[in-house]
Amino acid sequence: MRIITYKNYFNSVRLVTISVFVLIGVLSNQAYGQSLGFFKGSDCIMATPGDLLTGCIATDYISVQYEKFRKGFDTPAGWTLQVRANGDFSNGSAIIPAQFVSISYNGSDGAGPSGVSGTGSKMLSTTTPASLITTSSPLQSPPTTYFVHRLNMVVAGGSHLSAGTGTFSTTLTLTLVAQNGTIIATNDRVSVSFKVDYSSTCSGATLNSYYSNQPTFSDYASLMNGRTVTDAVSLQYQPNEANCTGWSLKVRANGNFTSGSNSVLPQYFSLRFNRVASGSPTAAQIGVTNNAIALAYSDVPLIDQSDAPFVKYGGTEHKYDLIIAGGNHLLVPNGMYTASLTFTLYNQNNQIVSTRIQDVTFQVNSSSNSYTMVLQNSADVIDMVFNTIANYQDGVSVSKLRGLKVTGYNPYQVLIKTSGSNLENSTAATIPVSAVNIETTKYTVTSGALINTFTRALSTADQIIISNPMANSTHQVVEYSLRYYTAPSDPRLLGKSGIFNTRVLFVAIPL
């Protein structure tokens, strides 16, 4: 620094200060007259589950333009091109780390210096630049004033690509570096991106449903046989933007089928996939089976990990048959029985995508329910006690006078059966129900003898114990006495210990 003084023509004195700053170790681009430009090709797109596993390669994706060499520019061999990511890749809401993307040198346009070799595929880092090339020839101008290097971009496949759909973008910093580490030129706004057009999250998909073809049970035979209702439940999928695979459809019963205080357990009801009514994919592509799936209070899968994705913006409808098992559980009073079912669409990560609650109904309007039966005089509990050898030798008999009252205005039969083939105790020991007999006799005095009563050994099969063909007023309310007994010295009772139980059902049906 120096200070210069002088006198002007007006005899005044001025001081002029001149400062000179010397920048050591950093030379600007302008000092060399050098700049780095770029243009990029088409983004690679991953649109299937397989693409997410394998990733993608964008060949010659970045074209690096070396240009504006000033005359006399000369840098020794050993110069290189470095790359660093300025941040992770983002679609605006999700992040894919830059480390899953690599850049590699693929070639030049032939106009640049010879002796350029790639250093292989370099994983991007947001902190440490990586050299993409080695050089054995200097940069000189002339003759070199402009040339292009072509770079590939590789996106590694894996679970990190399941972050969501969209275009994932970031910027890179490309730097031309001399052998001694001097930065010759740099460009920190090199935009790069790739597109994920497939998501395992199924985000945006919705579920809808409706119920049709409600079954009605009108007689005893239908209650015992059950019913299969074709296309009873329809499930509609609106995938919107989702094209995910590995999705599952599950169903659970939110309670019993109820009508007032009466109910039937959901375990007697099943859903069975019938067909794809509209849309895609096909049943074969999904990998769905036609097995009947019993309802439960917890989720059970109707479709488990679909092999095929939805088609974007393409509505799909599935039809399910409702299978109602016949049996004693349906011997309930007439009425409309309703259960609420929750259908849930899950993605392959078992995350809930959409739910739909659908009421399913059936009706009992059985002619057998037009009769009234009452077990009275403690006939609803029968205790047969064997506590002496005489009980075994002579047998045991328990009578219930006027134990059953039947009211009916049309001819009828009364059937009897047991809920199981054995009486069982707490240790799972058994006695066949046929070891117990029931004798039915008419108690009410009527003007005719046309009512027939029978004696039967207990069984799970329907057996007639009363037959009343009369419809006149003297036969509309009739009481019957019941006697349960065992045969003397029945070997099936020998050596048994404990309390053995079964349930006996009385069923009135039209004659």
Query: Does 99 map to a domain?
Result: yes
Q: Do 334 and 293 belong to one domain?
A: yes
Dist CA 403 CA 414 (whole Å): 14
Instruction: Characterize 272-295 residue by residue with b for buried, 16 or more Cβ atoms within 10 angstroms of its Cβ, and e for exposed.
Output: bbbbbeebebebeebebeeeebeb
Dist CA 509 CA 511 (whole Å): 6
Residue 482, C-beta contacts closer than 8 angstroms, at least 6 positions apart: 379, 399, 400, 403, 404, 438, 439, 440
Q: For the whole model, what pTM was predicted?
A: 0.71
Residue 411's domain spans which residues?
Answer: 371-510
For residue 438, which of 388, 504, 359 has the smallest C-alpha distance? 504
Helices and strands (H, E) in the chain, number of each type: 5, 41
Q: Over the stretch 9-43, which tens digit does the pLDDT of each residue have?
A: 333 333 333 333 332 223 334 445 678 999 999 99
Q: Do 96 and 133 belong to one domain?
A: yes
Q: Do 350 and 445 belong to one domain?
A: no
- CATH number of the domain to which 437 belongs: 2.60.40
Q: Do 413 and 433 belong to one domain?
A: yes
Dist CA 194 CA 260 (whole Å): 60
For residue 163, which of 237, 103, 88, 238 has the smallest C-alpha distance? 88
Are 191 and 43 spatial neighbours (Cβ–Cβ below 8 Å)? no
Q: Do 495 and 401 belong to one domain?
A: yes
Dist CA 302 CA 207 (whole Å): 14
Q: Do 153 and 69 belong to one domain?
A: yes
Q: Do 336 and 454 belong to one domain?
A: no
Q: Over the stretch 431-461, which tens digit does the pLDDT of each residue have?
A: 999 999 999 999 865 555 689 999 999 999 9
Q: How many domains does the chain have?
A: 3
On the question of pLDDT at 265 being above 70, the answer is yes
Q: Do 49 and 189 belong to one domain?
A: yes
Q: Over the stretch 107-154, which tens digit does the pLDDT of each residue have?
A: 999 888 899 999 999 999 999 999 999 999 998 888 878 899 999 999
Q: Do 310 and 377 belong to one domain?
A: no
Query: Does 207 map to a domain?
Result: no
Report the pLDDT value the prediction gives residue 22, as an integer from 0 to 100.
30
3-state secondary structure 90-112: ECCCCEECHHHEEEEEEEECCCC
Alpha helices in 218-370 (DSSP H): 220-225, 283-286
